[in-house]
């Protein structure tokens, strides 16, 4: 996650905006704003002052025998003035907040806009933008406290809430004194510390976004929002590869250089054997990538029959290629990130990777087949297809057709290769989707069970 953006920082106003300025510039930005001295003209500032007997004045009945008195505090309404800059917004409720001793609210967000006005004392407010909600571990969306954070920010347990380690970096703090007002937009997490003898009032109103959203579009916007968050999560997952080794010392075994005669020797590569590949029109860095890929395949796969990809079984890759796709879910989840193949692919220029793949087509076809069919993790599958997309942008249609024709010609079953790539991409997206549910909705998914169910459904459909 990037550092807090300047566009999300609290805005400060020494003068009160007009209702036009507020509705056109401040409210739509959905960014907090503090208005200094905004309510100093209220009668409540003097009448409610605890040092001048204000607490006695505020002792109104909590329960009234008169049915029509549905709001016992209505008597105080005359001491307040709705700030002019709120314009024609329809106020949902006005609430009184009063405390005799220091207090702290839980970290939460509200589903409506909020103008917090300090009548007496002072409050310290810490805010986090909605985009920071993954750091605060929101409670499950289906629960009663769905708008609250599960993290105890005073004494956090980072072994449980690891992402909260950086929550302070993305927070903002403002201290409000009597007469000040703070606009807290909907969806912004906030924690409020109140000093002794503090009195405040807040106005709640619905945002235009929610108010104008027609019900039959809810499902569509939900899908759009989830899709955007999944795309962002996938990009964040891939960015973690930037910290992995881009070089590596995966020196291929001797007979890797002899045209797929697998595992006949563990001796170091000789100069003569290196000269075999030196004749390939690859740049030194491209040749190094080829060495790394071939080495990884041979380190992780062992042959039951030399030279035949169908006889390969993994040694340390963690994927059960002999079982069906359902049994691989648990294995896949452990290698979604920090996969060496994905790290190598991520660091290579797309056209350089194209040259490496074509070299494998010509010199190591069985190694390429083993790589795609047996060693392509979900992350590597996602990276590979992104590289393919980048290649397509830099080549002509004819060049694209020729490349893919040569690439898929290696496989005895081209559909198996396509399935391996697409299956990996799908699981990578599914992992990102599960992460989004956890980070933003507080919903934990039994990924393996769900993945098994999806695989079974796909199998059933294929059978029909």
What CATH number has the domain bearing residue 151? 2.60.120.650
Same domain, 25 and 102: yes
Instruction: Tell me what pLDDT residue 224 has.
Output: 94
Q: Which residue stretches of the chain have pLDDT < 50?
A: 1, 60-69, 245-270, 272-273, 303-337, 461-462, 464
**Within-domain flag for 224:** no
Same domain, 266 and 121: no
Q: What's the number of domains the chain is made of?
A: 2
Instruction: Tell me what pLDDT residue 179 has.
Output: 95
**Within-domain flag for 158:** yes
Same domain, 207 and 337: no
Distance CA 275, CA 434 (A): 48
Its pTM stands at 0.77
Residue with tokens 């934990």: 444
Do strands 171-177 and 189-194 pair parallel, antiparallel, or not at all (unpaired)?
Answer: unpaired
Contact in structure between 124 and 173 (CB atoms under 8 Å): yes
Same domain, 244 and 174: no
Query: Would the CA dihedral through 23, 173, 99, 67 be positive or negative?
Result: positive
**Within-domain flag for 301:** yes
Distance CA 400, CA 106 (A): 57
Q: Is 431 exposed, middle or buried (0-12, 13-18, 19+ CB in 10 A)?
A: buried
Same domain, 161 and 43: yes
Domain boundary (152, 184, 212) is at 212
Same domain, 345 and 273: yes
How remote is the C-alpha of 220 from its chain's centroid? 20
**Within-domain flag for 17:** yes
Distance CA 396, CA 148 (A): 53
Instruction: Tell me what pLDDT residue 265 has.
Output: 37
**Tens digit of each residue's pLDDT (9 = 90 or more) over 237-284:** 998 887 664 444 444 443 444 444 433 334 333 454 455 555 667 888
**Tens digit of each residue's pLDDT (9 = 90 or more) over 40-67:** 999 999 888 887 777 777 774 433 344 4
| Torsion, Cα of 142, 144, 147, 152 (10° steps) | -110
**Tens digit of each residue's pLDDT (9 = 90 or more) over 101-128:** 889 999 999 999 999 999 999 999 999 9
Same domain, 293 and 385: yes
- Packed helices 378-393 and 340-347: angle between N→C axes, nearest 10 degrees: 20
Distance CA 388, CA 376 (A): 15
**Within-domain flag for 44:** yes
Q: Is 171 exposed, middle or buried (0-12, 13-18, 19+ CB in 10 A)?
A: buried
Boundaries of domain holding 437: 231-463
248-279 core/surface letters (b: 16 or more CB in 10 A; e: else) = bebebbbbbbeebebeeeeeebeeebeeebee
Same domain, 16 and 149: yes
Instruction: Tell me what pLDDT residue 446 has.
Output: 73
**Within-domain flag for 185:** yes
**Within-domain flag for 122:** yes
Contact in structure between 116 and 161 (CB atoms under 8 Å): no
**Within-domain flag for 156:** yes
Distance CA 11, CA 5 (A): 13
Same domain, 172 and 245: no
Same domain, 250 and 396: yes
Contact in structure between 405 and 103 (CB atoms under 8 Å): no
Domain boundary (159, 179, 212) is at 212
Say how many C-beta atoms besides its own lie within 10 A of residue 60's C-beta. Answer: 12
Distance CA 264, CA 74 (A): 90
Distance CA 382, CA 376 (A): 9
Same domain, 60 and 100: yes
Same domain, 134 and 237: no
Domain boundary (212, 245, 263) is at 212
Please calculate the CA angle 348-353-359 and round it to the nearest 5 degrees.
140
């Amino acid at each position: 996650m990037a550092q807090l953006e300047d566009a999300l920082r609290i805005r400060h106003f020494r003068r009160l905006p007009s209702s036009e300025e507020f509705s056109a510039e401040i409210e739509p930005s959905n960014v907090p704003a503090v208005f200094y001295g905004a309510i100093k003209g209220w009668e409540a500032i003097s009448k409610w002052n605890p040092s001048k007997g204000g607490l006695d004045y505020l002792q109104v009945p909590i329960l009234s025998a008169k049915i029509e008195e549905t709001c016992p505090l209505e008597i105080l309404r005359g001491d307040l003035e709705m700030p002019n800059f709120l314009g024609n917004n329809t106020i949902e409720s006005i609430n009184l907040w009063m405390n005799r001793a220091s207090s702290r609210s839980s970290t939460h967000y509200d589903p409506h806009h909020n103008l917090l006005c300090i009548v007496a004392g002072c409050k310290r407010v810490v805010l986090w933008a909605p985009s920071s909600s993954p750091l605060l571990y929101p409670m499950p969306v289906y629960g009663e406290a769905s708008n609250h954070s599960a993290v105890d920010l005073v004494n956090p347990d980072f072994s449980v809430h690891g992402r909260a380690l950086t929550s302070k970096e993305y927070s903002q703090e403002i201290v409000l004194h009597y007469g000040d007002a703070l606009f807290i937009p909907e969806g912004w997490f906030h924690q409020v510390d109140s000093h002794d003898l503090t009195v405040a009032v807040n106005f709640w109103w619905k945002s235009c976004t929610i108010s104008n959203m027609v019900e039959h579009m809810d499902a569509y916007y939900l899908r759009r929002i989830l899709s955007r968050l999944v795309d962002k999560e996938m990009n964040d997952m891939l960015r973690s590869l930037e910290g992995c080794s881009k070089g590596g010392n995966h020196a291929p075994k001797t007979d890797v250089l002899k045209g797929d005669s697998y595992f006949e020797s563990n001796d170091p590569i000789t100069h003569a054997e290196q000269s075999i590949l030196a004749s390939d029109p690859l740049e030194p860095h491209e040749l190094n990538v080829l060495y790394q890929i071939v080495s990884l395949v041979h380190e992780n796969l062992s042959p039951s029959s030399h030279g035949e990809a169908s006889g390969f079984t993994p040694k340390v890759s963690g994927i059960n290629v002999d079982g069906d796709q359902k049994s691989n879910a648990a294995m896949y989840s452990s290698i979604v990130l920090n996969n060496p193949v994905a790290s190598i692919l991520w660091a290579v220029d797309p056209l350089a990777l194209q040259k490496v793949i074509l070299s494998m087509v010509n010199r190591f076809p069985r190694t390429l087949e083993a790589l795609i069919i047996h060693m392509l993790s979900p992350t590597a599958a996602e990276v590979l297809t992104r590289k393919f997309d980048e290649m397509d942008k830099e080549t002509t249609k004819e060049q694209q057709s020729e490349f893919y024709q040569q690439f898929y010609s290696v496989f005895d079953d081209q559909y198996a290769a396509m399935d391996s790539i697409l299956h990996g991409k799908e699981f990578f997206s599914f992992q990102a989707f599960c992460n989004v549910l956890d980070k933003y909705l507080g919903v934990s998914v039994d990924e393996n069970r769900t993945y098994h169910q999806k695989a079974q459904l796909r199998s059933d459909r294929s059978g029909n």
